[in-house]
Structure 1
Amino acid sequence: MFSTLIVARMDPGSSPDVAELFAHFDTTEMPHLMGTRRRQLFSYRGLYFHLQDFETEHGHESIEAVRTEPRFVRISDELKPFIEAYDPRTWRSPADAMASRFYHWEAAE
């Protein structure tokens, strides 16, 4: 499994609206098309964290592959009133908002 973490800015009061948008989006075939296995949304002091787990380590490529899909474009537009780029000067795509993992530990099976 592969995970990505997107970091952005969000008014904490927007959490219910953002959750509702994703709840609807996740009932479509889009998570399957993207290879998404799990999505978790977090907020902390004006920051937004979007943790997504993918079936394979190609999660970033999976997101890029569907960026022009109408449902992906629609949710991106619907999120704009609630989510803003962490650094608007450098944001061009979701990849520009992804945190870099620098440590990983996993329990042995």
Structure 2
Amino acid sequence: MHSTLIVARMASGSADDVAELFGAFDRTEMPARMGTRRRQLFAYRGLYFHLQDFDEDNGAGLIEEAKTDPRFIGISEDLKPHIDAYDPTTWRSPADAMARRFYHWTAS
């Protein structure tokens, strides 16, 4: 399994709205199209953490292909009032908000 973690800033009181937007999005075939197996959203002191799990390390390629889908474009627009880049001066795409895993452990 491959995971990605996006870190951003979330407007105060937006957690329910963001969860609702993703709930509607995840009821479509878009997660399967992107290879998403699990999505978890976390909030901590104004920060937003978006953890996605994929079967394989091809999530980035599948997401890139899905970016032109009107549903992907729509959720991206719908999230704008709620989610801001962690560092707006360096943000150009979601890849600029990806946390880098530096340790991993799995029980045998």
Aligning the two structures, in what range does the TM-score lie when normalised by the shorter sequence? over 0.9
Q: Normalising by structure 1, what TM-score?
A: 0.96
Deviation at 1:15, TM superposition (A): 0.2
Gaps of at least 5 residues in structure 1 are: none
Q: Distance in 2 between matches of 1:91 and 1:62?
A: 21
Which residues in structure 2 correspond to 1:30-109 (within 5 Å)?
Answer: 30-108=30-108
Aligned letter for 1:100?
A: R
Q: After alignment, is 25-34 or 91-100 more displaced?
A: 91-100
Deviation at 1:11, TM superposition (A): 2.1
Gaps of at least 5 residues in structure 2 are: none
Structure 1 moving runs of 4+ over 4 Å: none
Deviation at 1:92, TM superposition (A): 1.2
3-state SS, counterpart of residue 52 of structure 2: strand
Q: Distance in 2 between matches of 1:83 and 1:9?
A: 6
Q: Distance in 2 between matches of 1:106 and 1:37?
A: 18
Residues matched between the structures, number: 108
Deviation at 1:12, TM superposition (A): 3.7
Q: Normalising by structure 2, what TM-score?
A: 0.97
3-state SS, counterpart of residue 13 of structure 2: helix
Identical pairs, percent: 70
1:34-64 deviation digits (Å, cap 9, x = unpaired): 0000000000000000000011111122211
